[in-house]
Every structure is written in C-alpha cells, then in structure tokens.
Amino acid sequence: MEDNTIENLDNSLDGYKEKILEVNKGWLEWDKDLIFNVRTQMGYEIEYDANLQWGCAPTETLLTSVAGCMAIDVFYFLKKMRAEMTSFKIDFSGVRKQDPPQYYKSIDLLIKVNGEGLTPKKLDRAISLSHDKYCSVYNALRSDIEVKVSYKINED
C-alpha cells in the first residue's frame, strides 16, 4: 500500500506550482546608516541591517527561504501520500565562507515531524521531489553549496 501511495504521488502533482507569478516585484529603500526596508509586492515587509540591531541580514532570509520552500513542498507531498502531521518544524543552519564573497558553503536542514502515516520512504521521496524538481529557492543556489537534509519522525 505504501509503495502504491508513493508511486501515485507523481501523478497527483499535475498542476502543483504551475500558477506562479512570472515576475516578482518589490522595493528596497534606504532608511538610515546601513538599514534598508524591503516591501514585497504582496505587502510583506523586511528590515535589513548590516549591524543586526534593527533588522536581519539578507543571508538570514536566504536560509529562511530555503527552509520555507522545502517545508511547503515536503508538507504538501506528505499530505498527498496520506500522512497526517500534528507538528512540522525545520531547524536550519548555514556555514559561510569567511572571505568575500561570503556565500554559504553548506546548509543543514533538520525536519522534525510528528503524526500518523509517516515513514522514512515517504520523507525521502518528498525531500527528493523538493530538491530535484519543485523547490525554486534550492535550485537558485550556487551549485557548489552542500545542502544536507535529515529528519526525525515521532509518530503520535
């Protein structure tokens, strides 16, 4: 039964993420010192601060974007495979190169999920689909960044 659910997942994803905005817009405006305010086209606001006193660093939001994109995909795929989550959390960390450009050398994501119908096979398939096909943030990263995803399942 589980194998059948996993195999049918690909067929049930027709249309998933097909309706996107082709162009994303927003604005970034200088506030003071090295503080900038960002507003997305949907009205969400972010404050960037090079000194990390009044806002976050752009690199922090890159990590949250990777985790957020993978979370949406993996959660959706698990639901499609008839898993029922009672909790879902991703802990993430990134190691940066010390010299400019100080890009991420590696990113670690730990998915902590509780619920019923969760199996390693389902998690592996959901993560694989997100990495290989659906997570646009992950696929926009440098190809030399090592991204490691692991998980812990605790069924209720």
Range of the domain at 19: 2-155
The pTM score is: 0.89
The predicted structure's pLDDT at residue 112: 97
Question: Which helix (DSSP H) or strand (DSSP E) does residue 123 occupy?
Answer: helix 120-129
Q: What is the CATH number of the domain that holds 116?
A: 3.30.300.20
Q: How far is CA 152 from the centre of its chain?
A: 17
- Examine residue 100 and say whether the peptide bond preceding it is cis (omega within 30 degrees of 0): no
Calpha distance 39→84 (Å, rounded): 35
Calpha distance 149→152 (Å, rounded): 11
Q: pLDDT tens for residues 67-111?
A: 999 999 999 999 999 999 999 999 999 999 999 999 999 999 999
Which two three-digit tokens encode residue 10?
Answer: 């690909």
What domain count does the chain have?
1
What does DSSP say about strands 35-40 and 146-155: parallel, antiparallel, or unpaired? unpaired
Which two three-digit tokens encode residue 53?
Answer: 């006193």
Q: pLDDT tens for residues 21-43?
A: 889 999 999 999 999 999 999 99
The predicted structure's pLDDT at residue 155: 65
First to last CA, the chain: 21
Calpha distance 128→125 (Å, rounded): 5
